Amino acid sequence: MSMKPVWAITGAAGRIGTVLRAGLNDDVETMHCLDIRAIPSLLGHEIAHQIDLADLEAMVRAFEGCEGVIHLGGYPSEADFHDLANVNIVGTYHVLEAARRAGVRRVAYASSNRITGFYPVGSKVSPNMPVRPDSLYGVSKAAGEALCRLYVDKFGLSAVCVRIGTFINEPGNTRHLSTWSSQADTVRAFRAAMTAPDVTYATIYAASNNDGLMWDMSAGEALGFHPVDRADIFADRFEGQERPLPTDFQSGGDMTSEAHTLSMQRAHEVDPR
């Protein structure tokens, strides 16, 4: 008789969801795969559920018999705040409430390093420090973390919030040499988040074992997350390129600019300043 658990994963058809499904293949007896889109190429132990995060009752049914849920579904970057609120905040509430009703033990919530993007590069940010979102997307992820905390304290759920770094195949600029989270290390982070024993609530950063990490990784280490890959092996391709200064924002690029957020809001007005 198998002793492997039954898990569910939302956002199963997305980039990270596809990687986690393959990487956690041997960890589970059954994986219930939820997405608003059709899920191609199901593995033998996977069961597909084409469900919108707005459909609470459907999620309750999908989570029945599951011991854990990985919640990835939602907008993955900056968008109109009304959309972010409906999908990333209300959708996360539905996931947690469905988990509560279905008797799920553990939820691993896909959060983001964008929650602390306004800290300077020279700061070593720990999950215990106040959030400083670089975007309304980051705000939506912070709200999701707060919902997880509420469901832990009020309803006895176990939750781990995983603040994912830069999830791409290989670093694309000098910032990524610090923030990169390889596919294999992202799988390791979520495996630890789902399997660490005796966890009530925790927040960890998912990043590879990079030089110049801007985040305190000790909370993840306490859960058994030990990243292996290193962005440094790609450093030669950026030789001579400017690296972030200690005073630069950790978010990098245009994420902290007014225009980046305002241009995506359907109801925004141009500031005459």
> Annotated active-site positions, please?
137
Q: DSSP letters along 245-259, please? A: PTTSBTT-TTTTSHH
Encode 102-128 in three state secondary structure.
HCCCEEEEEEEHHHHCCCECCCCECCC
User: Beta strand 201-206 with 30-35: parallel, antiparallel or unpaired?
Assistant: unpaired
| The one-letter amino acid at 143 | A
Q: What is the total residue count of the chain?
A: 273
Decide: helix, strand or coil at residue 2: coil
Structural tokens at position 200: 């009530």
Task: Check: CB of residue 4 under 8 Å from CB of residue 27.
Answer: yes
Question: Using CA atoms, how far apart are residues 161 and 260, in angstroms rounded to an integer?
Answer: 26
